[in-house]
Amino acid sequence: MNISLHQLKVFVAVARQRSFTRAAREFDLTQSAVSRCVRELEDAIELRLFDRTTRQVELTTAGASLERRIGRLLDEIDITLREGRTAHEGHTGVVVVASNPVLSSSWLPGGLARCAAAFPDLIVSVKDEAQASVLASVEQGAVDFGVVTDLDSAVVAGLHVQVLFSTPLRAVLPEHHALARYPSLAWAALDHEPLVTLNADSGSRAAVDRALGTHRMRGRPIQELGHVAAVLRMIELGLGVGVLPIDAHWPALSTRLVARPLLPEVTLTTVLVRRKNRSLRPNAEAVWSHFFKEAQVQGVAWLGTSGRARVEAAKRDDADMNGHMNAHINAHINADIRRAVSNAQGSPYYKEHDDEHSNGRHSQAP
């Protein structure tokens, strides 16, 4: 028995329309083509399906029974195909995203909320884990993709990476701290401050270590914590100065804390990662694209407000302080540091810098 899906669709259309002419218009065929299609179906199944007259078309008993059963099957096929097309467009199903704890508590929830609004029938499940575990989950195919910060170049080879945004590291201080009165700080200003920062699970610790090493900082973080809220609480209690990524994508500071740009600027880059040479499922591709677009919109919005403008203004202010202002601020900060770290007054470091000051030489302004 040689029967095509097209023949069945034409038969159901004629049965429901009770007209060869209207069925022909539905399929953009001629009436004779529809008649031939029905006749070939009747010949194949050896059943008469319609009683035809010059004025009307009526189903036979066999035709009515076949229309009920075939009609339901064709409707089910149509629903299945539409559902498949919808899933292909990324509007349904479940997408699993891995993220480090800091991003899970800062940028990611906003991205999830906007994604839920755009795709109400799509479920995005978050796997919250240390950054190294995020990368392992991506490589093993346990998740659709991951969101990480400051990706190590050594692991990029096996991954496809999409940059979301870059965030500057800033000094975070209690509002009454001696260094808080300056619009920006050199890294050297934190040389003898106890530091509080995020641990390796957050993905930002490596960038902090690189900055400290580049600027030959003698101080080292005395506290490493896994959550931004814990770091901020330690700073509020005066237990150290924070070195944290701060911008619109990260948690806002309380009114008791201030952030100051650290110069030269060191940034963290947050990226989406997935396995290289492996295409995402359509719904996961939709979430990936939505996350990327939302990150760009959010960054542009912040540029339009005062956030990034304040950072750039602070840089210009710092540049304008070259000359006698540079030396004046440096002298004040050195005095603050000496008073704050009284047990180090006799160290060779201070002797060296006292000698430089007495000879009229001054280091970089904070």
User: Could you read off the pLDDT of 289-335 as tens digits, one per residue?
Assistant: 999 988 887 554 434 444 444 434 444 444 443 343 344 334 443 44
Look up residue 304 and give its two tokens: 């339009």
Identify the band that residue 82 occupies on the pLDDT scale cut at 50, 70 and 90: confident
Identify the band that residue 151 occupies on the pLDDT scale cut at 50, 70 and 90: confident
Identify the band that residue 210 occupies on the pLDDT scale cut at 50, 70 and 90: confident
Identify the band that residue 246 occupies on the pLDDT scale cut at 50, 70 and 90: confident
User: Up-side HSE of residue 21: CA atoms within 13 Å toward CB?
Assistant: 4
Residue-wise pLDDT tens digits, 10-59: 999 999 888 898 889 988 999 999 999 999 999 998 889 988 877 788 89
Q: What confidence score (pLDDT) does residue 105 get?
A: 84
Superfamily of domain 93-160+279-294 in CATH is Periplasmic binding protein-like II (3.40.190.10)
Taking the domains of the chain in order of start, what are their residue ranges?
Answer: 5-88, 93-160+279-294, 165-268, 321-358
Task: Say which residues have a Cβ less than 8 Å from residue 89's Cβ, sequence separation at least 6.
Answer: 282, 286
The second-level CATH assignment, the architecture, of 5-88 is: Orthogonal Bundle (1.10)
Q: What confidence score (pLDDT) does residue 86 get?
A: 64
Rounded-to-integer distance, Cα 362 and Cα 342, Å:
21
Rounded-to-integer distance, Cα 179 and Cα 186, Å:
11
Rounded-to-integer distance, Cα 302 and Cα 298, Å:
6
Mean pLDDT, all residues of the chain: 79
Per-residue pLDDT, averaged over 133-155, amounts to 88
- What are residue 126's DSSP bridge partners? 97
Q: What confidence score (pLDDT) does residue 52 get?
A: 82
Residues 103 and 147 sit within 8 Å (Cβ to Cβ): yes
Rounded-to-integer distance, Cα 198 and Cα 196, Å:
7
Rounded-to-integer distance, Cα 125 and Cα 104, Å:
11
Per-residue pLDDT, averaged over 60-73, amounts to 90
pLDDT above 90 covers a percentage of the chain that reads 34
Closest alpha carbon to 331 in 189, 214, 183? 189
Identify the band that residue 172 occupies on the pLDDT scale cut at 50, 70 and 90: very high
Closest alpha carbon to 34 in 53, 15, 51, 48? 15
Identify the band that residue 217 occupies on the pLDDT scale cut at 50, 70 and 90: low
- Do 5-88 and 93-160+279-294 show the same overall fold? no
CB atoms near residue 31 (< 10 Å): 14
Closest alpha carbon to 324 in 365, 353, 359? 365
Give the pTM. Answer: 0.60
Look up residue 222 and give its two tokens: 């005395």
Residue positions counted in the chain: 366
Of residues 215 and 180, more confidence is placed in 180
Lowest mean pLDDT among 58-72, 81-95, 123-137, 257-271: 81-95
Q: What confidence score (pLDDT) does residue 355 get?
A: 46
Rounded-to-integer distance, Cα 324 and Cα 321, Å:
7
Q: What confidence score (pLDDT) does residue 227 get?
A: 82
Interhelix angle for 282-304 vs 307-320, to 10°?
A: 50
Look up residue 295 and give its two tokens: 């990150």
Per-residue pLDDT, averaged over 80-84, amounts to 75
**CATH value of 165-268 in 2.60.120.260, 3.20.20.105, 3.40.190.290, 3.40.50.970:** 3.40.190.290
Q: With 80 as the cut, is the pLDDT of residue 350 above it?
A: no
**Which helix or strand (DSSP H or E) is residue 273 part of?**
strand 267-275
Look up residue 297 and give its two tokens: 């919109």
Q: What confidence score (pLDDT) does residue 235 get?
A: 93
Distances (CA, A) of 341 to 92, 194, 344: 59, 10, 6
Rounded-to-integer distance, Cα 351 and Cα 345, Å:
8
Helix, strand, or coil here: 218? coil
364, with CB counted inside 10 A (0-12, 13-18, 19+), is middle
Q: What confidence score (pLDDT) does residue 211 get?
A: 84
Identify the band that residue 360 occupies on the pLDDT scale cut at 50, 70 and 90: very low
Task: Say which residues have a Cβ less than 8 Å from residue 340's Cβ, sequence separation at least 6.
Answer: 178, 192, 193
pLDDT above 70 covers a percentage of the chain that reads 76
Residues 170 and 260 sit within 8 Å (Cβ to Cβ): yes
Q: What confidence score (pLDDT) does residue 260 get?
A: 95
Q: What confidence score (pLDDT) does residue 128 get?
A: 93
Instruction: Using the Cα atoms of residue 269, residue 274, residue 279 and residue 285 in order, give the sign of their dihedral.
Output: negative
Q: What confidence score (pLDDT) does residue 90 get?
A: 58
Closest alpha carbon to 296 in 331, 249, 230, 361? 249
Identify the band that residue 229 occupies on the pLDDT scale cut at 50, 70 and 90: confident
Rounded-to-integer distance, Cα 57 and Cα 1, Å:
25
Q: What confidence score (pLDDT) does residue 321 get?
A: 37
